[in-house]
Structure 1
Amino acid sequence: MQCPECVEQNLAQNQIGLAFAPGSQFSLLCKEPISSVADVRGRAIRGPVSVFRRWAETMGASPITISANEVFDGLNQGLVDCTINAVGEMSNLSLFDVVGGITPGMPGGTFGGSGIGQLNLDFWLSLSLEDRKAVARGMSKATAFMVTGYMKQEVIDLQTARDQGIAIVESDPDLKSATEAFIKDDIETIKAIYRDDFGLEKVDEKVETFIGLLEKWKALTDPLDPTDTEALTELYWTEIHSKLNLETYGLN
């Protein structure tokens, strides 16, 4: 709806994009509790993507790159002090035996690159209008299911952590302020990456559009129970999939 270039790039691969889903906010999952800039400084922190490695370096930590499958061994053997992941990965990666402290929502952010609604273009165009609508509705539900699934798992894993004596700590004001400053400064880095490395045009305009959409969706989702799949499904349908012109989407 906001990025015709994205649609065109998908079409060039004989695909059409109908849904993309993030997980829950990234948090610090550490061998011991961490809540301040001083706590972070000097630590070896595994960042799943470059923005989190830049955050770690800015905070005075040593950014580490290992795959998710290596996180358990990395923490267990002392190769890393923390990993930045969604809290729900405590179960997914079996981290309860190697994590001693969780700092929820720090540094924040999420992974939004899961293309759960990528369809073959020929298949999409072969569908009747009624069937396309059914698929689009299904994409609203699939996206909501994934998002709320992560949120439900976070609730479960936080309680399991408490039951096992793992400390759940809040980041202090200095760490929050330092992180907010990093986010503002890093916008320019992100612009440069997309402009210089990927040849994206009108980067400033796209960033402004994204920030506006972020604020819009914060306002739309804040009143919702983050584990309510049906409510989020209806929101996605109302705000996104019902607004697509299903007769022409994929033909442009």
Structure 2
Amino acid sequence: MTSFPSRYVALGDSFTEGVGDTDDRFPNGLRGWSERVAEQLAIGNPDFRYANLAIRGRLLGPIVDEQLGPALALKPDLVTIYAGGNDMMRPKLDLDAVVARYDTAIAALTESGARVVMFTAYDTGWSAFFGKLRGRMAIYNELVREVADRHGATIVDFWRFAEYQDLRMWDFDRLHMSPAGHQNMAAHVLDAIGVGHTLNAPDLGPVPAQSKIEARREDRQWTREFLVPWLARRVKGVSSGDGVSAKRPELAPAFQA
């Protein structure tokens, strides 16, 4: 029988902070999959507490430097962590060094007694732009799976979730999940840790037919409104997380939406 966690801490970047799932009822104006996981874990569990230290735009190194110590101090029995996605999009990357740093962090988390949940990166092969990173992400995923195996962590294998080929699972920027994508991810996480839940996979219906003209129009809009500003920030060394604080820095009851 799976025991329900009572102290859940979420670590990472925009993926875990909940970017793409805007909801003003929640800290930072974001809900996200981790909030949904916490809501489910809190059902019938009055002692349950949840913290989310994730901040958008963070590279793996800063995630470890800024979030690992505070997370351990909270003495969690469940930790979810996604890190490395922003590193993957940098022109130069020592992938072995990045994952070695990740390995050290995962070792510290598992040695604390917490159950640790990790994620692979998503398969971006369908994307004309992000698909160029597919090979790098595939190597990263194999290294992450090795880390999980070495330390007994649980893997949520995002790489294999074919339903995310539907653009409706993504926000306009095609980089962050939509509310439907976040709900779907929450269900995958709960399934991975063996906890029953009331979340249903989003029923989006058939993918709407789209002409080549409509697709090109959307691509131009995406390039103009997301890609160009995003690349400009990369050039300037500006992060979307500059000035952003963790949405839930202390353990507290989960908000019931």
Alignment TM class, shorter chain as reference: 0.3 to 0.5
Query: Could you state the TM-score of these two structures normalised by the residue count of structure 1?
Result: 0.37
Structure of higher CA gyration radius: 1
- Scaled by the length of structure 2, the TM-score of the pair is 0.37
